[in-house]
């Protein structure tokens, strides 16, 4: 197998020291050591997420907690605001779980606008709203603060936010933003192997779980919170302890870099990549709403993305084609997790050379 430097929006590069932590010897998952490990992770996640809320872990990728969240938190009806493939996933999850939901989709490349959210919530039909903070399929970061200003007018609405590809790469102030359930995955900006997801839970979300009947078992968020509360930071079944060892260690590495430095590094990589995209192609995201962790590029030169990736592979690098319908029409370069400016200079330089761009 050829291991390439990954410029795809997940899984991302994992630091060798973090990978090594995945090989930590096992401990019993019902013992004090397991509680100490989960408590340590939770305290660090609270710092990273700027929240005093509860933290739950799930041995599933982020989609698992999205499924658990929409099912556990919707008593009446959910409104899903989608700006791409991952936004739409909330709606599919709702439908497949028998949760009443409506979908509002934007034209690809456009963000969710606060006034649109207001229009739906004004109807009083909804008790849950879902937003994608950073839509990986189109390289857009939604205007979270402006959307929050609208949602705050509706105190009975529970606010579910997909921060899978933003958390750890940009500041996500969960409490200030009023996110009731904020979800992330291990394999994006947190730069761990895939297979673990993490969410913050507000008191309002917890109160809502009480009002929802059939929540399943494995992804019942009330049950996951119960094991944290009543069993002193434990998990409802056997968790991926390997991921937990690695996450606990990676959070220390993240704090060692410093949160502001880490977010600045992502901002610098994003600005560089967007500028490069606009020099040779065109950015896909509406200007002003660019993602800090992944740039989606409009394939204005009609290049063959598959061939480009074959050439990049010879140089041990890999970028990402467009997602779903946007395949070949766009392509994506991620700049998150462990990547640095040097990496971005390397990958964009290689693309210029391969395609002989002028």
Ligand X SMILES: *Cc1c(COP(=O)(O)O)cnc(C)c1O
- Selected range binding ligand X among 98-106, 157-165, 264-272, 283-291, rule: CB under 6 A: 157-165
Q: Say how far apart CA 184 and CA 197 lie, in whole Å.
A: 6
Q: Say how far apart CA 186 and CA 42 lie, in whole Å.
A: 14
Task: Let me know the angle formed at the C-alpha of 170 by 335 and 93, rounded to the nearest 5 degrees.
Answer: 85
Nearest distance from residue 293's CB to ligand X, in Å? 9
Binds ligand X by CB under 6 A, chosen from 18, 37, 62, 243: 62
225 with 209: CB under 8 angstroms?
yes
Binds ligand X by CB under 6 A, chosen from 164, 192, 219, 247: 164
Nearest distance from residue 63's CB to ligand X, in Å? 3
Q: Say how far apart CA 267 and CA 265 lie, in whole Å.
A: 5
Burial of 234 (0-12, 13-18, 19+ CB in 10 A): buried
165 with 10: CB under 8 angstroms?
yes
How many other CB atoms sit within 10 Å of the CB of residue 5?
Answer: 16
186 with 197: CB under 8 angstroms?
yes
Q: What is the pattern of x (binds ligand X, CB under 6 A) and - over residues 41-60?
A: --------------------
For position 295 contacting ligand X by CB under 6 A, the verdict is no
Phi, psi of 295 (to 5 degrees): -105, 130
Q: What is the pattern of x (binds ligand X, CB under 6 A) and - over residues 7-26?
A: --xx----------------
For position 63 contacting ligand X by CB under 6 A, the verdict is yes
Q: Say how far apart CA 70 and CA 75 lie, in whole Å.
A: 9
Look up residue 28 and give its two tokens. Answer: 């019993």
For position 136 contacting ligand X by CB under 6 A, the verdict is yes
- Selected range binding ligand X among 37-45, 92-100, 160-168, 251-259, rule: CB under 6 A: 160-168
For position 86 contacting ligand X by CB under 6 A, the verdict is yes
For position 130 contacting ligand X by CB under 6 A, the verdict is no
Name the residue nearer to ligand X (CB basis): 188 or 335: 188
Interacting residues toward ligand X by CB under 6 A: 9-10, 61-63, 86, 132, 134-136, 162, 164-165, 185, 188
């Amino acid at each position: 197998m050829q291991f390439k430097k990954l410029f795809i929006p997940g899984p991302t590069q994992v630091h060798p020291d973090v990978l090594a932590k995945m090989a930590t010897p096992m401990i019993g998952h019902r013992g004090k050591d397991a509680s100490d490990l989960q408590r340590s992770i939770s305290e660090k996640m609270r710092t990273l997420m700027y929240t005093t809320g509860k933290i739950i872990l799930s041995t599933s990728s982020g989609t698992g907690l999205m499924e658990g969240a929409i099912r556990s938190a919707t008593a009446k009806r959910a409104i899903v605001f989608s700006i791409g493939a991952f936004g739409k996933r909330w709606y599919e999850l709702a439908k497949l779980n028998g949760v009443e939901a409506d979908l509002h989709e934007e034209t690809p490349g456009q963000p969710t606008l606060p006034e649109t959210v207001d229009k739906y919530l004004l109807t009083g039909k909804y008790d849950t709203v879902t937003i994608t903070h950073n839509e990986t399929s189109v390289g857009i970061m939604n205007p979270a603060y402006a959307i929050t200003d609208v949602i705050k007018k509706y105190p009975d609405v529970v606010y579910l936010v997909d921060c899978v590809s933003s958390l750890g790469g940009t500041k996500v102030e969960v409490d200030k933003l009023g996110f009731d359930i904020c979800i992330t995955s291990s394999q994006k900006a947190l730069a761990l192997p895939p297979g673990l997801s993490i969410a913050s839970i507000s008191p309002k979300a917890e109160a809502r779980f009480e009002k929802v009947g059939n929540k399943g078992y494995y992804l019942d968020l009330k049950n996951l919170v119960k094991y944290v509360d009543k069993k002193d930071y434990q998990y409802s079944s056997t968790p991926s302890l390997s991921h937990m060892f690695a996450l606990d260690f990676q959070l220390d590495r993240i704090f060692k870099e410093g949160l502001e430095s880490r977010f600045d590094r992502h901002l610098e990589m994003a600005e560089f990549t967007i500028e490069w995209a606009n020099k040779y192609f065109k950015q896909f995201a509406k200007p002003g709403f660019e993602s800090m962790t992944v740039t989606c590029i409009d394939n204005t030169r009609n290049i063959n993305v598959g061939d480009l990736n074959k050439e990049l592979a010879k140089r041990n690098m890999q970028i990402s084609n467009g997602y779903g319908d946007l395949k070949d029409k766009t392509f994506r370069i991620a700049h998150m997790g462990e990547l640095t400016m040097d990496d971005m200079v390397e990958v964009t330089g290689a693309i210029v050379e391969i395609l002989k761009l002028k």
